[in-house]
């Protein structure tokens, strides 16, 4: 290996392969230019193992993958956290099958990237500089969006949910306190909105210059966190190419589930959090079918579609090329969600030339400027607002708008959200904690957009 400082990168569970996990795979090759990385996770699916092997990045993971416990009892008893605590300790003590203990002792720096799940701190010495990229607060504990049916009605009385989660919430706060009081540590979230929500949930400070990634001043001479800053996500401009590759074109040609006419597309697990029913109503109002990618509570979404006579096409698990082709060939991507931290799918749509129509809330306010690189629209909760969405869909069909929004959007992504900016930001944060890592003082990191 090159004579680079060593970084141990922890992510509790790679098996969902959702936005957070895809971002890691996007960013790692650029981070590797500054670090000798060892990646540690409790569950590494085959795709992740193959990727790390191709990039010559050592992987440490249990022989038997950790499986996230499901069900209401888990939520009440914080079984996810308690079982992770046990697994991390088992993993670090399993010296016959891995070298995690030695790797930690020899590490120059540690990165944790996850939402919640800080039990890994139990095995990490406090003298090693650490950056915690928490992405956003633990959803469902500090808000109620995960405890509602797809139509917004509570699954159970909210007071009962609050009571049921009281122990789990205390457990979560305990580990965040451990992080907050840890020396040689800095903390970030993925947007100014996420940083504010994370800080509010735990009574932390906000770093005033939080929109400039990599600037995370300490609060004392032991380098305890001075607040929550921002580490912008890394967007893959290579995978989401301006022009379709020959293999993507072939995949689209042979795609049996290809819609026959115009359609709208939404990506993400069907749920109230992703406002799937609102997306369905927008599609119904525009008289276009809605293609849903991402699974979730699709049966409930189908029932709602039947009630309002909306045309809904639910995709099964399909390949990345088929997903790319579906987005590329759609009239527009509908991105509408409650408290979205960043919103990766609008960026991916922009990169392939598809208009991104987003709700004017949370993370979307940092990426989309209305009529510059897409449309930022009000919640479709009355006829006037719904008409705004319908007008935006009509505008999305006009070639000059599609070209303008895509070109402006790609430029913004290349100026702020490619992996080189995240890699440099992390390096600067670690440099401030005393790590001997190479930084590029000539790379200009632009202030974040708050709002765009």
Residue 115 has pLDDT above 80, yes or no: no
Q: pLDDT tens digits, residue range 83-106?
A: 999 999 999 999 999 999 999 999
Q: pLDDT tens digits, residue range 56-67?
A: 999 999 999 999
pLDDT at 2: 65
Q: pLDDT tens digits, residue range 332-348?
A: 999 999 999 999 999 99
Q: What is the DSSP letter of 149?
A: -
Task: Name the pLDDT band for 446 (thresholds 50, 70, 90).
Answer: confident
pLDDT at 436: 98
Q: pLDDT tens digits, residue range 234-250?
A: 999 988 999 999 999 99
Residue 199 has pLDDT above 80, yes or no: yes
Rg (CA), the chain: 22
pLDDT at 74: 84
Task: Name the pLDDT band for 114 (thresholds 50, 70, 90).
Answer: confident
Packing angle, helices 276-286 and 383-396, rounded to 10: 70
CA of residue 91 relative to chain centroid, distance: 26
pLDDT at 210: 61
Q: pLDDT tens digits, residue range 294-327?
A: 999 999 999 999 999 999 999 999 998 999 999 9
Q: Please report, to the nearest 10 degrees, the dihedral formed by the alpha carbons of residues 194, 196, 197, 203 taken in order.
A: 140
Flag the least confident range among 209-218, 357-366, 421-430, 443-452: 209-218
Residue 328 has pLDDT above 60, yes or no: yes
Specify the higher pLDDT residue, 439 or 116.
439
Task: Name the pLDDT band for 211 (thresholds 50, 70, 90).
Answer: low
Q: Under DSSP, is residue 104 helix (H, G, I), strand (E, B) or coil?
A: helix
Task: Name the pLDDT band for 151 (thresholds 50, 70, 90).
Answer: very high
Look up residue 356 and give its two tokens: 């991104």
Specify the higher pLDDT residue, 117 or 109.
109
For the chain, the average pLDDT equals 95
Q: Domains in the chain, please, with CATH? A: 6-234+418-432 (3.40.50.2000), 246-415 (3.40.50.2000)
Asked if residues 274 and 296 have their Cβ atoms less than 8 Å apart, the reply is yes
Question: Can you name the residues that pair with 110 across neighbouring β-strands?
Answer: 8, 130
pLDDT at 70: 84
Asked if residues 337 and 268 have their Cβ atoms less than 8 Å apart, the reply is yes
Residue 172 has pLDDT above 80, yes or no: yes
pLDDT at 331: 98
Q: pLDDT tens digits, residue range 279-297?
A: 999 999 999 999 999 999 9
CA of residue 289 relative to chain centroid, distance: 27
Q: pLDDT tens digits, residue range 380-397?
A: 999 999 999 999 999 999
Look up residue 146 and give its two tokens: 């995960």
């Amino acid at each position: 290996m090159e004579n680079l400082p060593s970084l141990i990168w922890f992510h509790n569970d790679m098996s969902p392969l959702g936005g957070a996990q895809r971002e890691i795979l996007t960013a790692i090759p650029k981070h590797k230019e500054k670090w000798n990385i060892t990646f540690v996770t409790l569950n590494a699916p085959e795709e992740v193992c193959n990727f790390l092997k191709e990039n010559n990045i050592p992987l440490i993971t249990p022989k038997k993958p950790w499986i996230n416990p499901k069900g209401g009892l888990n939520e009440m008893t914080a079984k996810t956290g308690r079982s992770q605590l046990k697994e991390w300790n088992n993993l670090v003590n399993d010296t016959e099958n891995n070298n995690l203990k030695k790797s930690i002792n020899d590490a120059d720096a540690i990165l944790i990237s996850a939402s919640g799940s800080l039990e890994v701190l139990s095995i990490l010495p406090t003298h090693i500089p650490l950056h915690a990229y928490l992405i956003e607060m633990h959803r469902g504990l500090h808000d109620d969006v995960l405890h509602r049916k797809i139509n917004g009605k509570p699954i159970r009385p909210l007071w009962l949910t609050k009571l049921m989660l009281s122990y789990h919430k205390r457990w979560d706060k305990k580990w965040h306190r451990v992080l907050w009081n840890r020396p040689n540590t800095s903390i970030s979230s993925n947007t100014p909105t996420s940083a504010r929500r994370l800080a509010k949930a735990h009574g932390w400070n906000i770093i005033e210059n939080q929109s400039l990634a990599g600037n995370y001043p300490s609060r004392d001479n032991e380098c305890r966190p001075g607040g929550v800053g921002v580490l912008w996500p890394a967007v893959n401009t290579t995978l989401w190419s301006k022009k379709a590759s020959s293999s993507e074109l072939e995949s689209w040609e042979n795609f049996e589930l290809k819609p026959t006419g115009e359609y709208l597309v939404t990506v993400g697990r069907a749920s109230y959090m992703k406002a799937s029913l609102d997306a369905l109503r927008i599609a119904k109002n525009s008289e276009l079918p809605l293609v849903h990618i991402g699974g979730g509570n699709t049966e409930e979404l189908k029932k709602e579609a039947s009630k309002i006579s909306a045309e809904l096409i639910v995709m099964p698990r399909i390949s990345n090329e088929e997903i790319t082709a579906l987005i590329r060939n759609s009239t527009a991507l509908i991105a509408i969600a409650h408290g979205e931290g960043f919103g990766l799918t609008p960026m991916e749509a922009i990169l392939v030339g598809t208009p991104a129509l987003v709700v004017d809330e949370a993370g979307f306010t940092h990426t989309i400027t209305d009529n510059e690189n897409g449309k930022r629209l009000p919640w479709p909760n009355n006829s006037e607002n719904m008409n705004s969405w319908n007008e935006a869909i009509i505008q999305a069909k006009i070639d000059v708008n599609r070209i303008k929004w895509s070109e402006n959007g790609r430029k913004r992504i290349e100026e702020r959200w490619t992996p080189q900016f995240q890699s440099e930001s992390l390096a600067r944060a670690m440099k401030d904690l005393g790590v001997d890592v190479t930084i590029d003082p000539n790379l200009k990191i632009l202030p974040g957009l708050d709002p765009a």
